[in-house]
Amino acid sequence: MTEISENKKKSFADKMRVWFRWILNPIAGFLSRLGITPNAVTLFGLAGTIGVAVLIALGHMTWAGILLLVMGPVDALDGALARLRNEVSDWGAFVDSVTDRYSELFIFGGFILYYLKDGNPYGIVLAYLAAAGSVLVSYIKARADASKLDANVGLLTRVERYIVLIPGLIFNLPLVVLFIIAVFANFTAIQRILRARADAHRNHKFPSRRKL
């Protein structure tokens, strides 16, 4: 078993898919019988997230949180459907990853539009920092994987960000949510940079330095 597969087994998102497969698999089976493809489910999830962003921009935070809660399982359904249909592929994983990034950027873009309209510079800055941290968390992991470095660590990965975001929206606490994500997403990005650096040192992937 490779180190990557071991790391995936430790992923919180993967654990959640195992915990909820009792409901995901039957729904995936139903969708498969209808002839719906995994990528169609992925794009449907993106469309739902755009709806969440629109609701946030209009200031309907509670409804945005409810819609995001409803759309949450869709993020896991495409993978369950792909496995059921034996259509797991690198392209499908690529589409899923790209749409995940777009989904988060749409959501934080909704916050920025809301606070621009509201004239709240603190909200705009927090939304920007939350978006930057969220994208960096994923980018650093992808770049580390491409360089065969271990960066599979972090306090606030995508699943945890949604766990913070959904109740925060439902209870209409957008600034609190943005502050938490802005701080801890960027902290997670730093965690992953340090883990990748430590892995590079451990496996002698740094070039040796010449003595002066």
Ordered mean pLDDT values, 10 residues apiece, the chain (212 residues):
42 57 68 79 92 97 96 78 78 87 96 96 98 95 92 88 95 97 96 94 65 44
Alpha-carbon dihedral angle through residues 26, 31, 37, 42, given to the nearest 10 degrees = -70
Q: What pLDDT does 16 receive?
A: 57
For residue 85, what are the CA distances in angstroms to 35, 60, 99? 10, 38, 21
Separation CA 138–CA 131 (nearest Å): 11
Domain boundaries, the chain: 3-202
Q: What pLDDT does 204 receive?
A: 66
Alpha-carbon dihedral angle through residues 76, 77, 78, 80, given to the nearest 10 degrees = 90
Measured between its terminal Cα atoms, the distance across the chain in Å is 42
Q: What's the whole-model pTM score?
A: 0.83
* CATH topology classification for 3-202: Four Helix Bundle (Hemerythrin (Met), subunit A) (1.20.120)
